[in-house]
Chains A and B, each alone.
Chain A
């Protein structure tokens, strides 16, 4: 750095990362600031995840008080574009950042684009995975030579694995977040994807045989409940607790719980564990994923200076290229060169489940979709009774279809 007076740029940053990943992101921000001393400083604030965050973004953009950069869920981009809160990321921006479309998985890149325009830069994908307790599986004879669960390739085989665990005295072979339909959306949507089912086609919800595919997905989960193979009325924290205490042998949860397990394991308070791609219950592998992205708010009434814009691009570029550390939060870095690196390939269980990147499906592209969005709420209200055996899958599908199409 020459001593020439270069105005230091402050980049105002908002995110919603409150958990273990938030701690890691704060570390990355301070690393960034250290690496750009005298040039760029990130001034970061963490807001509450979900509806509060997105409402605040929308109102702040409208009055011209938005941050310079923010984290955004890919699933929320269709609504954001309709509301006009995001700036387009141009080809010119991408080349300034030194990032290429080819560095990203097609599904991920597609999730941040609407009508051929790019609105965000993906930083990661965070799918759901199957966590498992190696000790309990081994005791039930359900662990393969290379330490993976048996019966991952069909509905019958996986159900047999669950039954073997039950017969071996495990109270809950599978811990599922059955009290939280918002969460179960991810599992159910994955199971629909395994049958090539789609939630929305040509603006209509559950058209044609998509309704039957949703019903199949619900039927499997209800069967596991009825057979006593799955925890009932379990909310999110309780599900994690059942798994870590050894009462549930397996758990379907997001990759963001990886740090929880890794930390507990290194403290010596957790059993031998692993995480793999979801079992193939239907035709082929498929897993629901969402993506954390960086987006630039379309602030009303204020033109951003070129220097500021360049600083924002530098932030996105630097974080993307240094996202190996972000992988310790469990998320799969979206930037290809990072996941292809030898360091990432040596990270476990991350490298094992990152294979599912090829089988990812994202939310339907509609303004009604996305975390904490209306589709979530509608489906959630019918998932909970169905998964706990209060309502038949057929009835649930009929109700969901009616309500979604009524929105």
Chain B
């Protein structure tokens, strides 16, 4: 018996070993390398000299680092919870539709998600264009002043937030709709027999039963938005990149534009820990709330 166990264990290990090898090569090794690089003054490619903590000591004085840190958190606040709540509302709305209409509306909301980011950028950049954008003509028509959305610091992050929610909501909607459909209809029948109102049905049945999936959506969104790069990179091109800086963009800029691999690695290490800490906190919170339902 015991030998069979061991053989099974070895079999399992053998089966996942190709994956482990690739994982080690493309993730574990570069991560270790990143930590080592962050203590040197290496350029993008090639070796550098050991400088100890110098790259880290510069961060508190580094204005662009502050901007990128602030913007990254601001962006999370703007997108994660609002985006998930919007997706939840849409999913519940769609779940009340029937037949082809449901598929049609769902497809409509899912469509942006399958667009590449460059297409998203083109659509919105022209929509918001200060001279020619349809959004600006709308403002004219309403008698309001035009706003240089992607070229101003106040409007940039909220605008990118809206675009991002529009772009990524489709996936969340799909997950949440599946969760809603998984709730047995008998429960709702029992609730209506007990004369449960709309709000109490939602808060006592729908919400708690959908919570595990909602928590998953929140987690996915959180990690995704912490690592935001493409939208900011595209929309701020030529505009005010350093005012709209986010952490991943800053790593990219230090590495590929300033040719400072060591300093880029230091920022990447900070980002690495932020993602881990926030993710762990998030798991704790969502698990705690799940514990409450027992």
Contact = CB atoms under 8 A, between A and B. Distances in A.
Interface of A: 51, 54-55, 58-59, 62, 79, 82-84, 177, 179-183, 231-236, 238, 241-242, 367-368, 372-374, 377-378, 380-381, 384-385, 388, 390, 402-403, 406-407
Given A181-B239, A384-B151, A377 B257 contact: yes
Interface of B: 43-46, 61-64, 129-132, 148, 150-153, 237-243, 253, 256-259
3 closest cross-chain pairs (CB), A and B: A180-B238, A233-B148, A381-B242
A238 B238 contact: no
29 contacts: A51-B256, A54-B256, A55-B44, A55-B256, A58-B44, A82-B259, A83-B44, A83-B45, A83-B259, A177-B238, A179-B151, A180-B239, A233-B151, A234-B130, A235-B239, A236-B238, A238-B129, A238-B131, A241-B131, A241-B132, A374-B257, A377-B253, A380-B241, A381-B242, A381-B243, A385-B240, A388-B151, A402-B63, A403-B242
B57 to A, nearest CB: 13
Nearest to B241: A377
Contacts of B46: 62, 83-84
A183 B256 contact: no
Contacts, number: 93
Contacts of A390: 152
B130 A179 contact: yes
Contacts of B44: 55, 58, 83
A406 B62 CA distance: 8
A378 B237 CA distance: 12
B238 A179 contact: yes
Contacts of B257: 51, 372-374, 377
Given A58-B45, A232-B148, A374-B257, A380 B130 contact: no
A62 B45 contact: yes
Contact of B238 (A55, A83, A380): A380
B214 to A, nearest CB: 38
A395 to B, nearest CB: 14
Nearest to B257: A374
B241 A381 contact: yes
Contacts of B239: 179-181, 235, 380, 384
A379 B153 CA distance: 15
B131 to A, nearest CB: 5
Contacts of B237: 182
Which of B64, B152, B237, B257 neighbours the largest number of chain A CB atoms within 10 Å of its CB? B257
Contacts of B132: 238, 241
A79 B148 contact: no
B240 A406 contact: no
Given A51-B257, A179-B130, A380 B151 contact: no
Contacts of A242: 131
Nearest to A385: B240
B130 A238 contact: yes
B63 A406 contact: yes
A234 B258 contact: no
Which of A59, A233, A241 neighbours the largest number of chain B CB atoms within 10 Å of its CB? A233
A378 B64 CA distance: 10
A303 B256 CA distance: 27
Contact of A384 (B43, B64, B129, B240): B240
Contacts of A236: 238
Contacts of A55: 44, 256
A242 B46 CA distance: 46
Given A51-B256, A62-B45, A377-B253, A179 B148 contact: yes
Given A58-B44, A58-B45, A234 B240 contact: no
B263 to A, nearest CB: 10
B243 to A, nearest CB: 5
A183 B239 CA distance: 9
Contacts of B61: 406
Nearest to B136: A233
Nearest to B43: A83
A180 B239 CA distance: 5
B62 to A, nearest CB: 8
Contacts of A372: 257
B5 to A, nearest CB: 46
A181 B259 contact: no
B129 A235 contact: yes
Contacts of A241: 131-132
Contact of A403 (B45, B63, B253): B63
Contacts of A84: 46
A180 B235 CA distance: 11
Contact of A181 (B43, B62, B240): B240
B58 to A, nearest CB: 9
A367 B131 CA distance: 36
Nearest to A61: B45
Nearest to B62: A406
A182 B258 CA distance: 16
B238 A235 contact: yes
Given A83-B45, A183-B238, A233-B131, 8 more contacts: A83-B44, A83-B259, A179-B148, A181-B240, A232-B130, A234-B130, A235-B151, A381-B240
